[in-house]
Amino acid sequence: MAKKDYQTICDSIASISHYIRFVGVVGKGGQLLAHRRRPDLEPLLNAKNTRYQFSHIAIKTDLEAFFDKNLGEVEFVWEERKKVQTISFAIKKLRVWISIDKKVVRTEMLRIIDACLPIVKKYS
């Protein structure tokens, strides 16, 4: 996959909903390959904690691979936290990580997920 594809993925997903705060493509080593942040948005994580978050995603991706043979590969993971909701999608060894406003209703979350799946599958 070309580097410009990473930014295309971020831009395409960010345009799905105005509730999307951040979209990033995270490499297998935890590096941020491309991203799109909603304009005028105050990040919830500082730079150091952002790096930790992406490293955590990379480690989790490696650990999940142990179960792929028995359970199948991860398609997406949806987390609800106190301040934000996140979804991550697998594209081979990469992860697309998305943060979404906390107060979004579940039907909108499902619409976002359903709109992301064809984008992610295109690059898988």
Helix, strand, coil percent values for the chain (each to nearest 5): 45, 25, 30
Domains of the chain: 3-123 (3.30.450.30)
Cβ contact 81:102 at 8 Å: yes
The predicted structure's pLDDT at residue 74: 82
75-117, pLDDT tens digit by residue? 888 989 999 999 999 888 889 999 999 999 999 999 999 999 9
Q: What is the pTM of this model?
A: 0.86
How much is the mean pLDDT over the chain?
A: 88
9-59, pLDDT tens digit by residue? 999 999 999 999 999 999 888 888 999 999 888 877 767 777 767 777 776
Can you state the angle between helices 3-14 and 106-123, rounded to 10 degrees?
160
Cβ contact 100:112 at 8 Å: yes
